[in-house]
Structure 1
Amino acid sequence: MSDTPSQASRGFIAAIERTGNRLPDPVFIFFWLIAILMAVSVLASFIGLSAIHPVTDEPVKAMSLLSAENLRRLFTDMPATFTHFHPLGYVLVVMLGAGVAERTGFLGAAMRAGVSNAPKALLTPIVVAVGMIGNLAADAAYVVLIPLAGVIFAAAGRHPVAGIAAAFAGVSGGFSANLFPGQLDALLFGITEAGAEILDPAWNANIAGNWYLIMALFFIYLPVIWYVTDRYVEPRLGRWTGGTVTDTDEPISGPLTDVEKRGLIWGALTILAVIAVWIVLTVGPGTPLIDQEARPEARLTPFYQSLVAGFFLLFLLSGWVYGHVTGVIKNHRDLVKLMSASMSEMGYYLVLAFAAAHFVVMFVWSNLGLILAIDGAEFLRWTNMPGPLLLAGLLILSGFINLFVGSASAKWALLAPILVPMLMLLGISPETATAAYRIGDSATNIITPLMVYFPLILIFCQRWDKNFGIGSLMAVMIPYSIWLMITGVAIIVIWAGFNIPLGPGAVVDFSLN
């Protein structure tokens, strides 16, 4: 590298790392918050804390979580509290299919095909675009695409760390930018639904609720990351004269075999077939995914709710077909093993979901979330702050918290029970609150050492530069984070200011009436 991070930059980075490492695991953060919530609920109930429900005009009183009724509910409803946690079913169903597509090598091969033969002049945008689409593949995008980008940049005579940085910025910084909804949408909207139901029990999640926005982010973030890579990051790294890596064991850097190419073709045809089936099930009167008896604006609700199943089948069948063609899946038992393996890696998420589910439901039982939302909304209404500025503030808040708590689901489970109903009372839809949160969260993914893949990215860089340290990686990625944050704020302000639809069936402005 041509320079090193300043002392102030290193001090800031070290402070973030020290502070974050002192925090307990997110699971125990929820357990501690439950204990605090119980104590606060007792005090709030004792002093008679209350608010007037803006829809029913009925008083909402704080309830003690140590009351006989709530303690009975806690212990008797514990299994139902866990299994009825909305994100749980959404995420597990999507991952059941995505795990097959990932473990057969279908997603990895698709990313290799996308960047391996990229023209030198278009190398950066192709790597970034594949990275943003590749975040549908979760782990595969980090493990396959990012080191591959370094190899391809070096082969083109460009600095490999610039390729790694561009891919990292696309996969992680552009985590909320994509052409299609995916696992993140299922995860976040499940939590949003739990928050929205505090105020409106009839509100149902639609995982396509941010589809238009994430597609726009894809086409907006692409030139931003391209510009930062080619005009700032790579010139700062200096000219690459180190040749290519010869000691890497990465199998991902080789060309696709004929069998893999055939598998990709059949996998792509399978995806098109699944999409065609969903179109047939949706278009025309009397089809299963249209409710003809509902109000005109609600007739497509079954279609939106079917998208979780749709993505499950899309990933499962395309991965199965690819695995069959390439020989990875020889019989149905192999398919079941791959599905089981994908579920085995969800163990930590299940533990986190158990803690988060109880925190959310106990927040509801205490009525503290609703009271805070009502009083907070009244305060914000008194300040007369425009909705777009409120959303910009939420975006920046989520980006800041992300520096210290890496899990997107953990942060949103903490914030959603208060912020979603609060913003609903101000006329801002749950889909819009989710959009602002996810943009801010992804913008700082790439600069926090507490992000789970950050050490792995550092190792990828050290294959090319042995002296490359954590401060070096932070210094390379900070320009991306700054520009993504600035761009994200501008987008959410414009989107809310002009009330542009966020997705099919989703709105920006919201009314409880």
Structure 2
Amino acid sequence: MKNEKQKNSQEIGGFLKGVERIGNKLPHPAILFVILSVIVIIASEIVSRVGHPVTYYDAKAAEEVTVSAFSLLNKEGLSYIFNSATTNFTGFAPLGTVLVAMLGVGVAEWTGLFDATLKKLLLNANARILTPIVVFAGIMSNIASDAGYIVVVPIGAMIFGMAGRHPLAGLAAAFAGVSGGFSANLLLGTTDPLLTGITNEALKASGIDMVLAPTCNWYFLIVSTFVLTIVGTIITDKVVEKNLGKYTGDYVPDNTPVSDLENKGLRNALIGLLIYVVIMALLMFPENAVFRALDEASGEMKLNNFLNNGLIPGILLLFLIPGLIYGKTIGKIKTTHDLVSAMTSAMESMGAYMVLAFFASQFVAYFSESKLGVIVSVTGAEFLQSIGLTGLPLVILFIFIAAFLNLFMGSASAKWAIMAPIFVPMMYRLGLHPALTQVAYRIGDSSTNIITPLMSYFAVIVVFMQKYDKDSGLGTLISMMLPYSMAFLASWTVLMIIWMLLGLPIGPGAPLYV
């Protein structure tokens, strides 16, 4: 039995090493995005000539839409490529998010606040309990929208490195939680009302008299959080970290004891952080707080606009304030010039990301403009609708179709706006509750986030990874994340099967069947 386990382990490791080798033999990630862009351009021309238009009901726009492939090789397409290049880059979703947040994160890192904090926290700590903590923190971070990508992922790598473990294993565990577990949480996040709103529009358009609450998936997502934390921990410890082997990169953790001056700096930084958190809570949570705005759909004062737009500057200050206080206390920041030097240092480290982001943004924009993702999604939805499955087999196949389509169309809400009007009424008429359909979609959509370059933050993770291993590339990242993707998809699907066999409700007022 032991020999059989070793053989299986070697086969898995060999397969992943093969994926990594093949991936890393490809050109630099920036050039790879150029090649992928060329492939999209050629594919758009072929599909526009031989393909047929697809028609679907867009639940966001509340209207029927007919879409044909847009060729990027004709007059209009070539004009688009040149005319949109700058705005594709400047409008790339992660660009502003990463650069703004890094101004604050950079100060905390430059002053040594991160190192001192981690040394304090990890002193005499069991290194093995770090894995579930990192995965769980990643999953929980999605209540703050995309903040987890730029906060939890790099910190996960630092935590593992400081504990004497492979930094890339920490990065992978955090990324798996943040992105692979994007649809799991103990609390409600911004995704819940967004997707539920689209589901409700699909119900309304099909004449079904039912309105779902944003909490309709809550019970299932709470249990999912613990399941994915356990699965993510096992994959990190038993597969990914073993496959990575001993870390031989340039990063060397500072293992010197925390000095009295550093302890004083940490104490002052904590006081400053607590004061900031209290002020932000007063600005966010009272009924008529400054950051609350009227939500036209519900008529209530909500934080939606702040969470979507104002949260990143808030995160900047979350790290800048304690970083500045710590730096002043230990004497590393004496003047405003030192503070700006800290921010400049952070921006200098983002040079490689800026180059990668330019080409990645073009690829994502071309794929979107060509409508290839929409065509693949609609075609896949029509295929699933045509095969006539019902009940549990239909739900399982729907999960896998959603996971597959996510490789071609990154936006969860845009994809659901296409799929919901088809599947919500179809599965409703087959006796399946819309909350079940929605959560099945979320399982598939989240599980493959971490292996598709179309995911907006994929390029960001590559840059974070290269801080610890300059030779790593897309192959390294995909080989690390593939076991998580497969394990999350399998375990989440098994959880759904058990849930349906037990007949448990998906959320408050949301049974499995109608």
Question: In the alignment, is the contact (CA less than 8 A) between 2:381 and 2:419 conserved in 1?
Answer: yes
Residue 338 in structure 1 maps to residue 338 in structure 2: no
Relative to structure 1, the CA distance from residue 432 to residue 277 in structure 2 (aligned partners, 3 Å threshold; closer, same or farther) is farther
Partner of 2:372: 368
| Change in 2 beyond 3 A, CA 1:343/1:391 | farther
Equivalent residue for 1:322?
Answer: 326
CA contact (8 A) 1:225 1:480 kept: yes
Task: Check conservation: 2:55, 2:66, Cα contact below 8 A.
Answer: yes
Look up the SS of the partner of 1:287 in the other structure: coil
Deviations 1:314-351 (A, max 9, x none): 11212122222222222221111111211222222222
Aligned mates of 1:211, 1:267 — CA distance in 2: 36
Q: Using a 3 Å threshold, how does the CA distance of structure 1 residues 215 and 97 change in structure 2: closer, same or farther? A: farther
Bigger CA drift: 294-303 or 109-118? 294-303
Whole-angstrom CA distance in 2 between matches of 1:334 and 1:212: 49
Indicate if the aligned counterparts of 2:56 and 2:65 stay in contact, CA closer than 8 A. yes
Counterpart Cα distance in 1 of 2:342 and 2:218:
29
C-alpha distance in 2 between matches for 1:372 and 1:412: 7
After superposition, where does 1:419-434 map in structure 2 within 5 Å?
Answer: 423-424=419-420, 426=423, 428=438
Q: Secondary structure at the match of 2:57?
A: coil
* CA shift for structure 1 position 397: 9.8
1:283-329 alpha-carbon deviations (Å, 9 max, x no partner):
33443321235232774212322222221211121212222222222
Q: Deviations over 1:422-443 (max 9, x none)?
A: 55554548976653334778xx
> For each residue in 1:467-491, what CA deviation from the matched residue of structure 2 results, as whole angstroms up to 9, or x when unmatched?
xxxxxxx99x999998777655556
The range that moved more, 168-177 or 24-33, is 168-177
Q: Do the aligned residues in 2 keep the contact of 1:115 with 1:130 (CA within 8 Å)?
A: no
SS of the equivalent of 2:54 reads strand
Q: Equivalent residue for 2:124?
A: 117
Once residues 129 and 358 of structure 2 are traced to their aligned partners in structure 1, the CA distance between those partners, rounded to angstroms, is 40
Alpha-carbon separation, structure 1, partners of 2:80 and 2:235: 53
Q: What SS does structure 2 have at the residue aligned with 1:79?
A: helix
Q: Does 1:149 align with 2:163?
A: yes
What is the one-letter code of the residue matched to 1:105?
G
Residue matched to 2:261: 259
Q: 1:358-397 deviations in whole A, cap 9, x for unaligned?
A: 2222223322222222112222333446456544676699
The answer to whether the Cα contact below 8 Å between 1:93 and 1:312 also exists between their aligned partners in 2 is yes
- Alignment of 1:302 with 2:305, yes or no, is yes
1:45 paired residue number: 48
Change (3 A) 1:26 1:494: farther
Q: Is contact 2:374-2:409 (8 Å) kept? A: no
**Pairwise CA distance, 1:51:** 0.9
**1:77 aligned to which of 67, 80, 84:** 84
Contact 1:177–1:218 under 8 Å retained in 2: no
Deviations 1:63-109 (CA, angstroms, capped at 9, x unpaired): 22122223222222221121112221122222222122222221222
**Superposition CA RMSD, Å:** 5.1
Q: Structure 1 residues 141, 315: CA separation in 2 closer, same or farther (over 3 Å shift)?
A: same
Paired amino acid for 1:287: A
Task: State the TM-score, normalized to the length of structure 2.
Answer: 0.63
Tell me the secondary structure at the aligned position of residue 295 of structure 1.
coil
> Contact (CA 8 Å) 1:148, 1:252: kept in 2 or not?
yes
State the SS of the aligned residue for 2:71: coil
Give the total of aligned pairs: 413
Q: 1:284 is paired with a residue of what secondary structure?
A: coil
Cα distance in 1 for partners of 2:307, 2:290 equals 12
Q: Displacement, 1:253?
A: 1.7
Counting only pairs closer than 5 Å after superposition, residues 202-221 of structure 1 correspond to structure 2 as none
| Structure 1 segments unaligned to the other structure (5+ residues) | 151-163, 201-209, 237-247, 399-410, 442-449, 458-473, 502-506
Which residue number in structure 1 is paired with residue 275 of structure 2? 273
Contact 1:395 1:436 in 2 (8 A): yes
**Residue 351 of structure 2 aligns with which residue?**
347
Q: Which stretch of the first structure deviates more once superposed, 282-291 or 107-116?
A: 282-291
Per-residue Cα deviation, 1:242-274 (whole angstroms, up to 9, x for no partner): xxxxxx995622221112222222222333233
- Quickly say closer, same or farther: Cα 1:12–1:360, change in 2 above 3 A: closer
Aligned partner (choices 69, 73, 81) of residue 66 of structure 1: 73
Taking a change above 3 Å as real, the CA distance of residues 358 and 335 of structure 1, as seen in their structure-2 partners, is same
Are the counterparts in 2 of residues 95 and 342 from structure 1 also a CA contact under 8 Å?
A: yes
The residue identity in structure 2 corresponding to 1:96 is L
Match of 2:208 in 1: none
Distance 2:75 2:234 in 1: 60
1:401-429 Cα shifts (integer Å, max 9, x gaps): xxxxxxxxxx8887979966655554548
Letter in 2 for 1:108: D
- TM-score w.r.t. the length of structure 1 is 0.63
Counterparts of 2:221 and 2:335, CA distance in 1: 37
Residue 99 of structure 1 is matched in structure 2 by 106
Q: Percent identity?
A: 29
Contact 2:29–2:356 (Cα < 8 Å) also in 1: yes
Q: Distance in 1 between matches of 2:107 and 2:287?
A: 34
Q: 1:16 aligns with which of 2, 15, 19?
A: 19
Aligned with residue 27 of structure 1, among 27, 30, 40: 30
- Helix, strand or coil for the counterpart of 2:67? strand
CA change 1:345–1:40 in 2 (3 A) is: same
Residues 128 and 170 in structure 1, CA contact (< 8 A), matched pair in contact too: no
The within-5 A match list for 1:405-416 is none
Alpha-carbon distance in structure 2 between the residues aligned to 1:500 and 1:365:
37
Q: Within 2, Cα distance between the matches of 1:440 and 1:491?
A: 22
Alpha-carbon spacing, 1:432–1:128, altered in 2? closer, same or farther (3 Å): closer
